[in-house]
């Protein structure tokens, strides 16, 4: 990604603000040998700086409640405070100033416009307006001028009714929920009517070719993926009608890097490169983050898209958190699901990986539960070996027997792990 003079100026200003207002970054940067903002230099030298990990933010907030030593504002200057789902129990608070909220709305407007949403188009959404940052995306639909129909999370009957009565052209939800709705509608012989655009995000499935084809044929609609990251911005990436990866929507506000997740080395952004995405805020007021490790493993493209946009594109491969290593081979559960999906309609597309032991390193064969016709199990195992270079133990299970979710579907289950 080319760095403009404007990006560099914003970066330098953000670094100066971190030294001035964030005790966490002042200490962190000084400990790394950077006495002050001039020593940090420009954005071209960013790879010399330490990363920020999610765990550091949790520790910072626990040590200095309520917003943490990393926050660059007093709580009285916050206009809104979101929180994470807090899998470890305690939520992590994410404050935004009024300017931060406006910036997020503009990033979201760009993302959903990139998906093809237009003024006057009806869009039904299933995001909660509750505590999570996904709710911030709701403002983007009005910013575009859409007729927005929020039905909230987990309200499938209300969603089906809205599709029947209000005939929305677009739906925004998680890919697994979109599939669940399609399956339910088929079982009830309910028409999915006017929906021609399905915007999916919140989990990686929307980028998997097999899963996407299944969704598109079930709905008779086109699938466009989006991706956000709570600590950075909601709805940060959006796919255009070329369906060639998600375009970056925050140029000028957020700087993106690609790194090797094992060594932490910066990688060159070039067509086809893969690695972990790392983000730096350039103009965030409340809780600016520096080199934040997203744990999202992605493939990137820097060349211009056929749509004419030149913004960086990505396709998410999986979470580096979910990655397993089977005899030295990196295995992403979402990649396993993608291979399994090639066997549709003899499989439903749902899978669950049940490692035999805790931790990243696993011995083959790796147990993979697959919903579908038992006769196809051997062929799936062969295909996984050929495509992903590890040996699975494919266990076929009955359709609809694996857990479904209206938010994030879990592909890894350690309940049988020793």
Work out how close the CB of 201 gets to Zn ion at its nearest, in angstroms, rounded to a whole number: 17
Of 55 and 209, nearer to Zn ion (C-beta) is 209
Work out how close the CB of 110 gets to Zn ion at its nearest, in angstroms, rounded to a whole number: 12
Work out how close the CB of 335 gets to Zn ion at its nearest, in angstroms, rounded to a whole number: 24
Q: What are phi and psi of 231, to 5 degrees?
A: -75, -15
Work out how close the CB of 243 gets to Zn ion at its nearest, in angstroms, rounded to a whole number: 8
- Cα of first residue to Cα of last residue in the chain, in angstroms, is 45
Work out how close the CB of 239 gets to Zn ion at its nearest, in angstroms, rounded to a whole number: 8
H helical segments located in 95-208: 98-114, 138-144, 156-166, 175-187
Of 29 and 246, nearer to Zn ion (C-beta) is 246
Q: Which residues contact 280 (CB under 8 A, 6 or more apart)?
A: 11, 14, 43, 46, 254, 255, 257, 289, 290, 291, 292
- What is the spatial distance between Cα 107 and Cα 101, in angstroms, rounded to a whole number? 10
Q: What are phi and psi of 368, to 5 degrees?
A: -125, 115
| Residues in touch with Zn ion (CB under 5 A) | 240, 242, 305, 307, 309
Of 80 and 309, nearer to Zn ion (C-beta) is 309
Residue 108's alpha-carbon distances to 141, 256, 414, in angstroms, are 8, 17, 35
- What is the CB neighbour count within 10 angstroms for residue 18? 23
- What is the spatial distance between Cα 82 and Cα 367, in angstroms, rounded to a whole number? 38
Which of 192, 142, 145, 155 is CA-nearest to residue 171? 192
**292 burial level (CB within 10 Å; 0-12, 13-18, 19+):** buried
Of 242 and 265, nearer to Zn ion (C-beta) is 242
Of 1 and 147, nearer to Zn ion (C-beta) is 1
Work out how close the CB of 311 gets to Zn ion at its nearest, in angstroms, rounded to a whole number: 8
Work out how close the CB of 174 gets to Zn ion at its nearest, in angstroms, rounded to a whole number: 22
Position of tokens 């990243």? 360
Q: Which residues contact 109 (CB under 8 A, 6 or more apart)?
A: 140, 143, 144
Work out how close the CB of 225 gets to Zn ion at its nearest, in angstroms, rounded to a whole number: 12
Which of 201, 25, 180 is CA-nearest to residue 127? 201
Q: Which token pair is 124? A: 């039904």
Of 20 and 242, nearer to Zn ion (C-beta) is 242
Work out how close the CB of 130 gets to Zn ion at its nearest, in angstroms, rounded to a whole number: 32
245 and 314 Cβ atoms separated by less than 8 Å: yes
Work out how close the CB of 244 gets to Zn ion at its nearest, in angstroms, rounded to a whole number: 6
Of 47 and 307, nearer to Zn ion (C-beta) is 307
- What is the CB neighbour count within 10 angstroms for residue 290? 25
229 and 285 Cβ atoms separated by less than 8 Å: no
Of 191 and 303, nearer to Zn ion (C-beta) is 303
Of 238 and 261, nearer to Zn ion (C-beta) is 238
- What is the spatial distance between Cα 37 and Cα 42, in angstroms, rounded to a whole number? 9
- What is the CB neighbour count within 10 angstroms for residue 186? 11
Work out how close the CB of 127 gets to Zn ion at its nearest, in angstroms, rounded to a whole number: 24
Of 281 and 315, nearer to Zn ion (C-beta) is 315
- What is the spatial distance between Cα 226 and Cα 234, in angstroms, rounded to a whole number? 10
Of 59 and 307, nearer to Zn ion (C-beta) is 307
């Amino acid at each position: 990604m080319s760095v403009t003079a404007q990006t560099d100026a914003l970066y330098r200003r953000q670094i100066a603000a971190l030294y001035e207002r964030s005790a966490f970054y002042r200490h962190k940067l000084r400990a790394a040998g950077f006495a002050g903002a001039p020593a940090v230099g420009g954005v071209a030298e960013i790879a010399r700086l330490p990363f920020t990990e999610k765990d550091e933010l949790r520790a910072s907030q626990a040590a200095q409640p309520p917003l943490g030593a990393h926050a660059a504002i007093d709580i009285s200057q916050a206009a809104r405070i979101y929180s994470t789902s807090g899998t470890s129990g305690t939520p992590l608070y994410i404050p935004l100033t009024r300017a931060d909220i406006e910036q997020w709305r503009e990033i979201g407007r760009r993302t959903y416009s990139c998906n093809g949403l237009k003024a006057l188009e009806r869009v039904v959404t299933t995001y909660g307006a509750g505590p999570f940052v996904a709710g911030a995306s709701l403002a983007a639909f009005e910013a575009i001028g859409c007729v927005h129909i929020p039905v909230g999370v987990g309200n499938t009957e209300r969603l089906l009714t809205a599709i029947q009565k209000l005939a929305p052209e677009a739906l925004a939800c998680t890919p697994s929920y979109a599939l669940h709705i399609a399956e339910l509608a088929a079982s009830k012989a309910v028409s999915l009517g006017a929906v021609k655009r399905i915007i999916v995000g919140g989990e990686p499935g929307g980028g998997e070719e097999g899963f996407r084809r299944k969704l598109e044929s079930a709905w008779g609609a086109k699938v466009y993926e989006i991706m956000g990251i709570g600590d950075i911005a909601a709805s940060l990436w959006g796919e255009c009608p070329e369906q060639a990866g998600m375009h970056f929507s925050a140029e000028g506000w957020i700087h993106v890097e690609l790194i090797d997740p094992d060594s932490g080395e910066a990688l060159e952004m070039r067509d086809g490169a893969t690695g972990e995405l790392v983000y730096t805020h350039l103009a965030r007021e409340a809780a600016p983050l520096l080199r934040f490790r997203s744990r999202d493993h992605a493939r990137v493209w820097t060349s211009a898209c056929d749509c004419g946009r030149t913004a960086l594109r990505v396709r998410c491969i999986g979470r580096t958190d979910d990655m397993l290593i089977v005899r030295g081979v990196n295995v992403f559960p979402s990649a396993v699901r993608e291979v399994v999906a090639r066997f549709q309609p003899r499989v439903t597309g749902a899978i669950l990986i049940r490692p035999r032991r805790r931790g990243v390193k696993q011995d083959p064969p790796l147990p993979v539960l697959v919903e579908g016709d038992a006769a196809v199990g051997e062929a799936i195992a062969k295909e996984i070996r050929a495509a992903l270079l590890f040996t699975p133990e494919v266990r076929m299970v009955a359709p609809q027997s694996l857990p479904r979710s209206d938010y994030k579907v879990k592909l890894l289950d350690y309940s049988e792990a020793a």
